[in-house]
Amino acid sequence: MTIPVDKLSDPAVRSLLSALNAGNRDAFFAALTENATMSDDGSERDLAQWVDREIFTSHGHIDVQTEKAAGRALVANYRNDTWGEMRTAWRFTVDGTRVSRIETGQA
């Protein structure tokens, strides 16, 4: 069963993933802190480069399956034009009202 993005518990994560699914790069970056960081499968990545490659130029979309840790730990089916669909785990660190860190990888 999929959890609609607009029903996620954490408002910062909800804003970030709503922007992701809408393909709205400006709103996505507005939902992040200025110095936000990320890792993919345990390796640190350049956030802007990763987001452009894995989300916006490849039409990324996330379908959340489960949420834990007050909406900051998710398991989701993520798909894009490059890799197809895969089961992924996502962890978010929130600073105030914006996301300061994204950790993702295969679930």
Q: Are 33 and 95 in contact (CB under 8 A)?
A: yes
Positive or negative: CA dihedral 91, 70, 55, 52: negative
Q: Are 8 and 64 in contact (CB under 8 A)?
A: yes
Give yes or no for residue 28 having a pLDDT over 90: yes
- Residue 1: its pLDDT value, please? 81
- Residue 35 pLDDT level (bands cut at 50, 70, 90): very high
Joined together, the tokens standing for residue 6 give 């607009």
Q: What is the pTM of this model?
A: 0.96
pLDDT digits (tens, 9 = 90+) for 47-100: 999 999 999 999 999 999 999 999 999 999 999 999 999 999 999 999 999 999
Domain 5-106 in CATH 3.10.20.70: no
Give yes or no for residue 31 having a pLDDT over 90: yes
Domains of the chain, residue spans: 5-106
